[in-house]
Chains A and B, each alone.
Chain A
């Protein structure tokens, strides 16, 4: 009886397992293998052990490029956590209060999420154009001409501009996750807190924040993975080089450039590219894994 049941389950799982192995596991494994070889042009050369890893981590200028890109990923993660997820939490709270017009706002906030990053990137690149762009034109129209900046062309503003565009794009998603989490809180709990005289601030901090912990787990883990795999937005808006001068370079761009080459400046090196991919995979996997474990334990505790 159990034997035939097992067979059934296996048969039903087989197509999914097949697809996952073909399109996820095999490429992962091959990247892993590639990273241990030296590459002669585009053909695989001799086994080179950890040489590729050594190059991307410790040999200049690759090491400082890796460091630079990694630092930007960390910055992006922190900035997105604050700018995007912080705002999303407050918006979810406002939506929960069901103020007049909250349904329209709920839709409006979620709307950009369904657009492709490529479209949003291209659109905002136009908005941020230093000469024709909507942003600078508006600033000039408001008499704030000296605030007009070449946003994407300065190392001081480029990454920040990208983070803000990313926030504009994705804000609706964490907002919706938080809102769902808040709606799951039993109204008894909130009413009890209100009867005890809790203000909005106390209610948010002491009741709602601990009780939406499962939603927070989801949002933090997804933000982490998203920040470290960030690619489309900088690719569309500042290019494969992470212009200007690597100020918007992130690991995704750096990996792509290394493995597949940047036609206007560089060459392809599958070995170094694969080494980077393996390092990224390990880092994201390990940190996201431990992070999720910690956040889960926090859910129970609070």
Chain B
């Protein structure tokens, strides 16, 4: 009895081993398996589809997806790369996130010679994954993110409200919601999650300080102590009475819940929420708008930044296949599929975006200001983000004035940024 079973088991085992070998032969050529690492572990199924489509067109290349917890991705990746390992194709974060890996020589430079398709990308997108010193590109940008104002359409219709176009209208709308909304909070955001504080700040200050301030600052003609920026910071204080009870302790997840469950009418957030909100509450009737302008007729500016890109490990033994994949990921065809599947805006020129909400986001991108700290001051410690996030928490709890905060940020950045040291 035992003998027969064992023989049967062996036969079965032999069968399972033989099957893939047979199939492999059928696919004509030797398979190259590329590894791909990302912090977007929740996108596993969508990437499986995207990579499946690539493999269908390029049967010799298969891709193994590995997702990491976002907070630990950087440390996992840097330790692997330092040990001379790591994936063949790397999902990499933009700006300082790219630069620190590129500086260390871990990434293959992408040029028009090895990846001609980078010509499909706008300069600002390529800038987000380049070194500032030599402008060399190190990755194919994958998504742009837009920060703006989410509105709960149902609440706005029920209370007969118009989407606020100016700051004064925003204040009036908030007051109406407070008076007639039956306990609905006008704005869902809180202050307990530091990075979300920066998002919030950018959304409500951009239209106040304007694009000229950013240009002046980058040209070395202004610092964060510029009256335009200080005034913008001061405006944030007016929002406090329209935020949830105990907003100082309201974290990102709570704010999302408040908005998704209809307990708050507006949510200042990024376009990356769209897919997430839809997944969690398919019935939510939401709209995405540019934040209000300072006065009627003045520009309403969303904040724009790039998320990161796909890079090739300079130590990869499968560089040719990896470059082939990255080239594919820079084509409009991939961008179109990417946007359709993942609900994010692909920055590649010639991409078709069918989703009406995403199409609206790309429309808003034409009137955008930089997401200042991430785009310009996240390359050296103390980063602008570091200084701003904690600073705004203190500002909103009354422990610092706008002028003090502006001075602190300027002083912190001045430790490595020459133009801020003058004057």
Interface residues of A (CB under 8 A from B): 40-43, 60-62, 125, 128-132, 136, 148-155, 238-241, 243-246, 258-269, 272
Closest B residue to A42 using CB positions = B104
Asked if B390 and A154 make an inter-chain contact with CB atoms under 8 angstroms apart, the answer reads no
Question: How long is the Cα–Cα vector from A19 to B385 in the complex, in angstroms?
Answer: 41
Asked if A265 and B103 make an inter-chain contact with CB atoms under 8 angstroms apart, the answer reads no
Asked if B103 and A152 make an inter-chain contact with CB atoms under 8 angstroms apart, the answer reads no
A19 to chain B, nearest CB (A): 20
Closest A residue to B100 using CB positions = A41
Asked if A132 and B397 make an inter-chain contact with CB atoms under 8 angstroms apart, the answer reads no
- The answer, yes or no, to whether B73 is at the interface (CB within 8 Å) is yes
By a CB distance below 8 angstroms, the chain A residues around B322 are none
Asked if B393 and A243 make an inter-chain contact with CB atoms under 8 angstroms apart, the answer reads yes
Asked if A61 and B71 make an inter-chain contact with CB atoms under 8 angstroms apart, the answer reads no
Q: A61-B412, A130-B190, A130-B244 are in contact. List 17 more A-B contacts (CB 8 A).
A: A41-B101, A42-B78, A42-B101, A43-B82, A60-B415, A129-B251, A130-B254, A131-B250, A136-B246, A153-B397, A155-B399, A243-B192, A243-B393, A263-B70, A266-B383, A267-B378, A268-B78
Q: How many residues in B have their beta carbons less than 8 Å from beta carbons of A? A: 56
Question: How long is the Cα–Cα vector from A165 to B185 in the complex, in angstroms?
Answer: 29
By a CB distance below 8 angstroms, the chain A residues around B102 are 41
Report the stretch among B157-165, B193-201, B212-220, B221-229 that lies at the interface: B193-201
- The answer, yes or no, to whether B381 is at the interface (CB within 8 Å) is yes
Q: A131-B245, A131-B246, A265-B385 are contacts. A41–B103 as well, Cβ < 8 Å?
A: yes
Q: Which single member of B103, B387, B391 contacts A42 (CB below 8 Å)?
A: B103
Asked if A148 and B389 make an inter-chain contact with CB atoms under 8 angstroms apart, the answer reads no
Asked if A265 and B194 make an inter-chain contact with CB atoms under 8 angstroms apart, the answer reads yes
Q: Which single member of B195, B249, B391 contacts A153 (CB below 8 Å)?
A: B249
Closest A residue to B385 using CB positions = A265
Asked if A263 and B393 make an inter-chain contact with CB atoms under 8 angstroms apart, the answer reads no
Asked if A129 and B249 make an inter-chain contact with CB atoms under 8 angstroms apart, the answer reads yes
Q: Which single member of B104, B391, B412 contacts A40 (CB below 8 Å)?
A: B104
Q: A42-B100, A240-B71 are contacts. A269–B250 as well, Cβ < 8 Å?
A: no
- The answer, yes or no, to whether B32 is at the interface (CB within 8 Å) is no
Q: Which single member of A62, A152, A258, A264 contacts B195 (CB below 8 Å)?
A: A264
B390 to chain A, nearest CB (A): 4
B417 to chain A, nearest CB (A): 14
Q: A244-B192, A265-B378, A265-B383 are contacts. A153–B248 as well, Cβ < 8 Å?
A: yes
Q: A131-B254, A244-B248 are contacts. A267–B195 as well, Cβ < 8 Å?
A: no
Contact with A along B65-101 (1 / 0, CB 8 A): 0000011111100100110000000000100110111
Asked if B246 and A267 make an inter-chain contact with CB atoms under 8 angstroms apart, the answer reads no
B267 to chain A, nearest CB (A): 15
- The answer, yes or no, to whether B191 is at the interface (CB within 8 Å) is yes
Q: Which single member of B249, B379, B390, B397 contacts A130 (CB below 8 Å)?
A: B249
Closest B residue to A128 using CB positions = B249
Asked if B192 and A152 make an inter-chain contact with CB atoms under 8 angstroms apart, the answer reads yes
Q: Which single member of A136, A149, A246, A259 contacts B390 (CB below 8 Å)?
A: A246
Question: How long is the Cα–Cα vector from A152 to B104 in the complex, in angstroms?
Answer: 38
Question: How long is the Cα–Cα vector from A269 to B74 in the complex, in angstroms?
Answer: 12
Question: How long is the Cα–Cα vector from A238 to B397 in the complex, in angstroms?
Answer: 16
Q: A265-B378, A267-B96 are contacts. A154–B194 as well, Cβ < 8 Å?
A: no
B373 to chain A, nearest CB (A): 8
B350 to chain A, nearest CB (A): 31
By a CB distance below 8 angstroms, the chain A residues around B100 are 41-42, 261, 267-268
By a CB distance below 8 angstroms, the chain A residues around B190 are 130, 153
By a CB distance below 8 angstroms, the chain B residues around A240 are 71
Q: Which single member of A40, A130, A263 contacts B71 (CB below 8 Å)?
A: A263
By a CB distance below 8 angstroms, the chain A residues around B73 are 263
Asked if B249 and A245 make an inter-chain contact with CB atoms under 8 angstroms apart, the answer reads no
- The answer, yes or no, to whether B105 is at the interface (CB within 8 Å) is yes
Q: A40-B104, A131-B245, A136-B246 are contacts. A267–B192 as well, Cβ < 8 Å?
A: no
Question: How long is the Cα–Cα vector from A155 to B399 in the complex, in angstroms?
Answer: 10
B401 to chain A, nearest CB (A): 14
A154 to chain B, nearest CB (A): 6
Q: Which single member of A130, A152, A268 contacts B74 (CB below 8 Å)?
A: A268
Contact with A along B176-206 (1 / 0, CB 8 A): 0000000000000011111100100000000
Q: A41-B99, A150-B247, A241-B194 are contacts. A265–B389 as well, Cβ < 8 Å?
A: yes
Asked if B192 and A269 make an inter-chain contact with CB atoms under 8 angstroms apart, the answer reads no
Asked if A149 and B74 make an inter-chain contact with CB atoms under 8 angstroms apart, the answer reads no
Closest B residue to A243 using CB positions = B194
Closest B residue to A55 using CB positions = B381
By a CB distance below 8 angstroms, the chain A residues around B198 are 264-265
Query: Which residues of chain B from 243 to 302 have a CB within 8 Å of any chain A CB?
Result: 244-251, 254, 258
| Sample of 19 A–B contacts (CB below 8 Å) | A40-B104, A41-B101, A41-B102, A42-B78, A43-B106, A129-B249, A150-B250, A152-B192, A155-B397, A260-B72, A261-B74, A261-B100, A265-B195, A266-B378, A266-B386, A267-B96, A267-B100, A267-B381, A268-B100
- The answer, yes or no, to whether B419 is at the interface (CB within 8 Å) is no
B201 to chain A, nearest CB (A): 13
Q: Which single member of A41, A153, A258 contacts B104 (CB below 8 Å)?
A: A41
Q: Which 9 A/B pairs are nearest by Cβ-Cβ distance? A: A150-B249, A130-B246, A153-B249, A41-B103, A264-B195, A153-B248, A150-B246, A43-B104, A260-B75
Asked if A244 and B78 make an inter-chain contact with CB atoms under 8 angstroms apart, the answer reads no
By a CB distance below 8 angstroms, the chain A residues around B379 are 267
Asked if A245 and B78 make an inter-chain contact with CB atoms under 8 angstroms apart, the answer reads no
By a CB distance below 8 angstroms, the chain A residues around B251 are 125, 129
